[in-house]
């Protein structure tokens, strides 16, 4: 698994979509350090056992009869919480075999890389299915909201923009996967082409835009509850600038920092990179603001639903608001706030499953809740169906009944 994924898992794991690369990169880094150490030891005594790299751990120079103990390699911590140690004896015939064996001492299996690659291949299959289904459903939802004139309003305009960001995010994932995994012969861990970097940039922009439109949804809903905000065309332009324009600014800054200071690989490995905060920082802020707005919305609704304060005229409206607000968790992405404060090593597989697998279905869930189950949408679609039947067959059907899932959003 990739530590860069773990550190930005709340960014829907888009800092890297090939986690096994970190395993390779960390081993290569430790191997370079070991070879440098071996080179420094060349002019020293030739007695005893020479330092060497055994493909996992660097063993130092030792005298005959000495037993050397080495802690489990740090790279194993990517898979398990390994706290054991491995030993070798320096004999007159050279180094002995490690004891106990790595897979016993470090609580890992001999085929760790293969197991991990198999796991991530399964995750990739699941999120590919999730994004594919979400893409189709979101496209239908956008078409419905655009085609029916009576559905054109401020809240649906904002919904459409959010749906588009989910669509773009799914497309970005497919483009990035196609670029990195187009051929079995492609070493996607060291790939560094313009197309690869462009796909990563596009992916990061779509993720940022998605988070900022989630923020716009929260701001808009808060303004509805406060009833102190006039949603003029100018306000919608402001929302559009926040949702589409602000991410452009940070992406351009990040591109510049990578080009001039960190032009390595495909720009998708961000471990220990201070420039990653150019993208990560604004998203963290948007998640925090979203969470505070969500809690404030809950507070407002609790106050307004107080039986002593509630007015008869508004009681049904606020009950509908409450029902809808309970469904805002997938819309606001409040689960990102939870993962933001967990340590990097906390249940990595669970994180990947939630972020990549369940996250790929988030667009589908949002489209169903805020389009297909919306009473106004159902009524308008039903009315259009009745008109078509009347024009085609001269059949007049009874008036449609709306869904109980009426939301003001």
Q: Which of 8, 97, 5, 46 is nearest to 336 (CA)?
A: 8
Judge contact between 73 and 106, C-beta under 8 A.
Answer: yes
**Largest separation between any pair of C-alpha atoms in the chain:** 101
The pLDDT value recorded for residue 107 is: 73
What is the average per-residue pLDDT within 74-97? 79
- Quick one: how far is CA 221 from the chain centroid? 24
Residue 13 has pLDDT above 50, yes or no: no
Q: Where are the alpha helices (DSSP H) in 262-308?
A: 277-304
Quote the mean pLDDT of the chain: 76
Question: Whose CA is closest to 360, among 13, 116, 4?
Answer: 13
- Residues making up the chain, counted from first to last: 409
* Confidence band of 374 (pLDDT split at 50, 70, 90): confident
Mean pLDDT, range 121-128, rounded to an integer:
82
Per-residue pLDDT at 249 exceeds 90:
yes
Rounded CA-CA distance 372/260 in Å is 47
Q: Tokens 């594919």 map to which residue?
A: 132
What are the backbone dihedrals phi and psi of residue 391, each rounded to the nearest 5 degrees, phi first? -70, -35
| 356, 13 contact by CB (below 8 A) | yes
Express each pLDDT in 287-340 by its tens digit: 888 888 888 877 877 776 665 555 545 556 556 656 656 666 655 665 566 655
Per residue in 335-359, pLDDT (tens digit) is: 566 655 555 455 566 666 666 777 7
Rounded to 10°, the helix 112-147/154-180 angle is 150
Angstrom distance (rounded) from CA 173 to CA 166: 11
Q: Which residues of 124-160 are buried (b: 16+ CB within 10 A; e: fewer)?
A: bebbbebbeebbebbeebbebbeebeebeebbbbbbb
DSSP track, 66-90:
-EEEEEPPGGGGGTS----EEEEEE
Report d(CA 131, CA 141) in Å as an integer. Answer: 15
What integer pLDDT is reported at residue 325 of this predicted model? 60
Residue 8 has pLDDT above 50, yes or no: no
pTM over 0.85: no
User: What pLDDT does residue 405 have?
Assistant: 42
- pLDDT confidence of residue 188: 56
Q: Which residues contact 150 (CB under 8 A, 6 or more apart)?
A: 376, 380
Cβ atoms of residues 409 and 221 within 8 Å: yes
The SS3 of residue 95 is: strand
7-32: average pLDDT: 58
What's the rounded Cα separation, in Å, for the pair 340 and 322? 26
Pair 180, 266: CB distance under 8 Å = yes
CA 278, 280, 285, 286 torsion-angle sign: positive
Q: Of the ranges 104-108, 236-240, 374-378, 396-400, which is most confident?
A: 236-240
Burial of 202 (0-12, 13-18, 19+ CB in 10 A): middle
Q: Which two tokens stand for residue 247?
A: 């991410």
Specify the pLDDT at position 390: 76
């Amino acid at each position: 698994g990739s530590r860069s994924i773990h550190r930005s898992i709340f960014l829907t794991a888009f800092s890297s979509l090939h986690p096994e690369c970190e395993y390779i990169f960390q081993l290569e880094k430790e191997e370079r350090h070991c070879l440098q150490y071996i080179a420094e030891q060349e002019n020293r005594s030739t007695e005893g056992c020479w330092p060497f790299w055994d493909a996992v751990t660097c063993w130092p120079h030792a005298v005959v009869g000495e037993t050397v103990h080495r802690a489990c390699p740090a790279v194993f911590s990517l898979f398990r919480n390994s706290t054991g140690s491995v030993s070798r004896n320096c004999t007159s015939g050279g180094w002995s075999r490690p004891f106990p064996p790595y897979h016993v001492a470090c609580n890992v299996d001999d085929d760790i890389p293969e197991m991990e690659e198999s796991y991530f291949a399964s995750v990739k299959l699941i999120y590919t299915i999730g994004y594919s289904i979400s893409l189709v459903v979101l496209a239908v939802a956008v078409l419905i909201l655009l085609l029916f004139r009576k559905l054109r309003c401020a809240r649906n305009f904002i919904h459409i923009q959010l749906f588009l960001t989910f669509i773009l995010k799914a497309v970005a994932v497919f483009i990035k996967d196609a670029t990195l995994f187009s051929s079995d012969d492609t070493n996607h861990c060291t790939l560094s082409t313009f197309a690869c970097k462009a796909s990563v940039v596009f992916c990061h922009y779509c993720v940022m835009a998605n988070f900022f439109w989630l923020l716009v949804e929260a701001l808009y809903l808060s303004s509805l509850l406060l009833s102190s905000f006039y949603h003029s065309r100018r306000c919608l332009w402001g929302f559009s600038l926040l949702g589409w324009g602000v991410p452009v600014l940070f992406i351009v800054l990040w591109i510049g920092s990578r080009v001039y200071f960190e032009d390595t690989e495909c720009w998708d490995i961000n471990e220990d990179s201070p420039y990653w905060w150019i993208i990560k920082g604004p998203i963290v802020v948007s998640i925090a603001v979203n969470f505070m707005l969500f809690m404030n919305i809950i507070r407002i609704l609790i106050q307004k639903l107080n039986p002593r304060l509630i007015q008869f005229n508004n009681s049904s409206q606020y009950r509908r608001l409450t029902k809808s607000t309970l469904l805002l968790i997938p819309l606001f992405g409040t689960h990102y706030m939870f993962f933001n404060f967990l340590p990097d090593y906390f249940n990595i597989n669970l994180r990947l499953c939630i972020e990549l697998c369940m996250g790929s279905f988030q667009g589908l869930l949002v489209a169903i809740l805020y389009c297909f189950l919306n009473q106004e949408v159902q009524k308008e679609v039903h009315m259009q169906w009745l008109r078509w039947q009347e024009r085609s067959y001269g059949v007049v059907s009874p008036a449609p009944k709306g869904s109980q899932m009426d939301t003001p959003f």
